[in-house]
Structure 1
Amino acid sequence: MVSFSFTALAALAAFAASVVSATVPSSARFDLSKPSYDLYRNKPLHDDTVQQGFAFDNVNRRLFVSQRKNGAGETSGDLCITQLDFSGNEVGHMYLEGFGHGVSFGAQADGSATYLWTEVDANDNGYGKQLARFKFTSGKTLTKSSSELRKFKPVAAATEHTCAVDPVHNRLVVRYHLEGSGKHIAVYDLAAATKGDFSSPLADFKQPLPKTKGKNFQGYTAYGRYLYLLWGDSYDVSAELNSEVASVDMNTGEVVQGPLITKAGSTLSFREPEGLAIYKTAAGQVRLFLGFASGKAGDRRSNLFYKNVTVS
C-alpha cells in the first residue's frame, strides 16, 4: 500500500487546484500594444473617493462605476455605485453597505432593468466573501442583509469572491481566493449562474502574474477566450508611469501578451489605474475599457479609455 504524508497530500491538492479545466470557445483577442482612446476625462462621481471598478449593461446601454462611500473605513465594504451616461454625466446612484472593495463587478440586462453582480459580506480586509445579484435602483441603499439580494458562493472553499461579466458572450468571470493557493479565475455561463448553477465552469485556473514588480492589482475582465489583467499605482506612489495590462488564454492559463505599459491618460493628475470592462457599441465595435482615477483627495474624478484593435 502506498502512503502519503500530509505535506504530499497538500502538494497534490495544490497541483490539482492549479490544473486548467477549460472549454472556452476561440475568439478574437485585443492587441494591447495598440493605442487607447478617450471616452471621457475628469468626470465627478456621486461621491468624492477614488473609483474602483466599472461595468456596462450592453443591452440597455448603461455604465456603472464603483467607489468607496464617503466617510467609510477602508475595510468597511461600504460602496457607492454611480450610473453615468457615456459622456460621463451622473444619472443615478446607489449605496451598498458591507459589500466589499469594488475592484470589479458586473452588469446584466433583464428587460429594461439592470441587475448588478457584486461581492458581498466584506471580510476583515474589506473584500467580499461571496457574490450578490440585485436590481440597480437609483437612490436606494442596500445592506449586506437586504432581502433584495440573491447571494451565491461559486467556490465553496474560497474565502473571497469578486466578478466581472463578459457582456458579448454572456459569461460570468469570478476571481476567487483560496488560502495557501492565492487567486484563481473561474468562468461560468451567465444564464446558468443566474439560476445558481456553478457546477460546470468553462474554465478554472490559477491566475498567473498575481503581482508584477510590486505593483498593485487594479482590475480584470474577459472577452471570449481571453482574460485581461491590470496593475499599477498612482503618481503619488510612483513618480513614473507604471500601469500595465496583460492578456491570458483561459484555456491554458498562460499569458499571451504583456504585461505591457499602457500610456492611456498619461497626462492626468494623480492617475491611478482602476478597473477593466468590455463593451460592444451599437455599431458592433467591441472595446476593452481601462479606467483611471484622477484629481485631488476630496475631489477624485473618473476617466475611461478604450482599445478597439483585435487579432484573431
Structure 2
Amino acid sequence: MITLASAVPPPVLLNGVQLASQNSVGQSFFWDLVGRLWYVCQRDITTADEERILVTRLTADGDVVDSMHVERAGHGANIGVENTGGSVFLWTDALPNGHWASALARIPYVPGGTVNASDTSAPAATITFHRPRPSGQVYRVSATVDPTRRELIYRWQSNDVSSDKAVGGIDRYALDAVVAGTYTPLATLPFPASGRTLQGYTSLGDHFYTLYGLPNAESRVTCTRWDTGEVVQDEPLTAFPTVVSREPEGLCVYEIAGAPANLAFGIAGGASGARRFHAGRFPHPETNAWVPIAYDTALLAPNGPTYVPQYRLAGDQVHLHFSLDRVDKAAWASTAKLFQLPVPARPNRTQRLVGVVSGAYVTGQPLTVRLEVTTDGWVTLYDDRGFKGWIGADVSFWTC
C-alpha cells in the first residue's frame, strides 16, 4: 500500500509542462513503465467535434515527443497505456453518449495519427471496441491499466449523472483476456455516491486509489482494499498550491529503476491559451537499492569496482556514491561535469555538495572540493586548484 500522507511535499515529476494544445487542461495521464514516456490526455475542444481528445507523449523531463488525436471519443476522464512486444496501445473513451463514453477503445498509438473512436466499421488494426458490461446498462465508462499486474481497471456508472452523485462500480480484468474478448471480472468494488468529483483513479497491487477535487478547492486521495472494499486512507492533497486555476487531474502508476512501483498524480492549471500540466509522486517510504548512473567511460574511470557512480532513494532523500579519476590522468578543470542524474533523483534547486579528493596531489591543502548538482541533474566540480587524482562523494544527499 502506498502512503498517501507525508510530512514533506511530494517530489515533483513534471513542473508546468506545455502539452500539444494550450487551450484545455490535461484530463488524465499515464506513465509507460516500458517506454519511459508520459501520455497526457486532454479534451481538444473544437466547434465541429467537442468529443475529440488529444494525447500528448512527453519525455520523462516533460518535453513533447509527439501527439495523436482520437475523435468522437468522449471526455478523456481516464487513460490507459499498454506496451506489448514493442507496440503501444491506448485504452481510451469510445462511442460517446452525451459527450461521455459508452465503450472502450484499444488503439495503436501512431505519432501524428487520427482515429475515429465512433467508427465501428474501422479495421481491427486501427481500433477495437470493448464493452466489459453491456453498453445499454452502464454510463460514463472509462478505464486505466495496472502495468505491474497487466490488469485493465474499468469504471462504470449505473446512472447518467455527474460523478459526485453517481453509483456504479470498478472492475478488475486480466488485460490479455479483455484483448481476446473475454470479460470476466477478477474483482468488483462498489462506487457509491460520495458528493465528491472524481478526477482520476488507478490500481496498484491489492489497492485501488482515487483522486477527487474541483478547481481551486480541496483535493483528496483515497485508498481502498480490493478484497474487502474498506477505505483505508483518505487524505488531503495540497501539492502545487500556487498553480493558478489549480485542478486535480489524473492518477497513475509510476516507477523508476531501483524503487518499487508508486503513484503519480496530476495537477492542471493556467488560463485558456496558456494551460500547463504538473505531476508529482507520493513519497517512497523505504530505502531502495543502489542504481548505477551512466558516465563517459572514455573520460572517467571509477576508483575501484565499488565506486561506480550510483544513487538510491531513501524516503525523499537521494543518496549519491562515487569515486572517479580522469582516464588521461590530466588535471581537473573547474566546472567539469561528471555525470547526469535521472529525473526522479534531481533536486528542486541547485544543491552544493562536499566531496573528497586524493591526498597524493593536494598535500598541505584541504582534501575537499565543492560539487554542485543542478536541477537538470548534472553533478559538476567547482575547484580552481587543477589537482590530479580521484574525486569522491560517499555520503552526499539531498531532498528530491
Q: Provide the TM-score with structure 2 as the length reference.
A: 0.65
- 1:154 equivalenced with 2:127 (yes/no): no
CA distance in 1, matches of 2:72, 2:261: 34
Give the superposition deviation at 1:194.
1.6
Q: Secondary structure at the match of 1:94?
A: strand
Q: Pairwise mapping of residues 157-306 of structure 1 onto structure 2 (< 5 A)?
A: 157-179=137-159, 182-199=167-184, 201-208=185-192, 210-212=193-195, 215-235=196-216, 238=217, 242-258=218-234, 260-306=235-281
Alpha-carbon distance in structure 2 between the residues aligned to 1:135 and 1:284: 29
Q: Secondary structure at the match of 1:104?
A: coil
Following superposition, the deviation at residue 246 of structure 1 comes to 0.6
Which piece of structure 1 moves more, 265-274 or 174-183?
Answer: 174-183
Q: How many residues align?
A: 271
Partner of 1:111: 85
Does 2:3 correspond to 1:31?
yes
| Structure 2 portions without partners, runs of 5+ | 161-165, 287-400
Report the counterpart of residue 83 of structure 1 in structure 2: 57
Stretches of structure 1 that go unaligned for 5 or more consecutive residues are 1-28
C-alpha RMSD of matched pairs (Å)? 1.8
The letter for the 2-side match of 1:99 is: A
Change in CA separation of 1:83 and 1:170 when aligned onto 2, cut-off 3 Å:
same
C-alpha distance after superposition, 1:243-302 (max 9, x if no partner): 1111111112221111x1111111222210000000221323322000010211221101
Higher relative contact order (CA 8 A, sep 6+): 1
- The 1:76/1:123 distance shift into structure 2, 3 A limit, reads farther
Give distance in 2, aligned partners of 1:285 and 1:300. Answer: 32
Q: Give the direction of change, closer, same or farther, for the CA distance of 1:151–1:39 in structure 2 (3 Å limit).
A: same
Shift of 1:205: 2.4
Per-residue displacement from partner, 1:80-115 (whole Å, max 9, x unpaired)?
A: 000000111100100111111111110011222211
Give, in whole Å, the separation in 2 of the partners of 1:295 and 1:118. Answer: 25
- 2:92 equivalent to 1:136: no
Which residue matches 2:66?
A: 92
Contact 2:45 2:51 in 1 (8 A): no
CA contact (8 A) 1:104 1:219 kept: yes
CA contact (8 A) 1:286 1:308 kept: no
Q: Distance in 2 between matches of 1:265 and 1:170?
A: 31
Aligned-partner SS, 2:270:
strand
CA apart distance, 1:310: 5.5
**What SS does the corresponding residue of 1:193 show, helix, strand or coil?**
helix
Contact 1:98 1:122 in 2 (8 A): yes
Q: 1:163 to 1:310 in 2, by over 3 A?
A: farther
Larger radius of gyration: 2
Matched, 1:65 2:43: no
Query: What SS is found at the alignment partner of 1:187?
Result: strand
Displacement after TM superposition at 1:309 (Å): 3.2
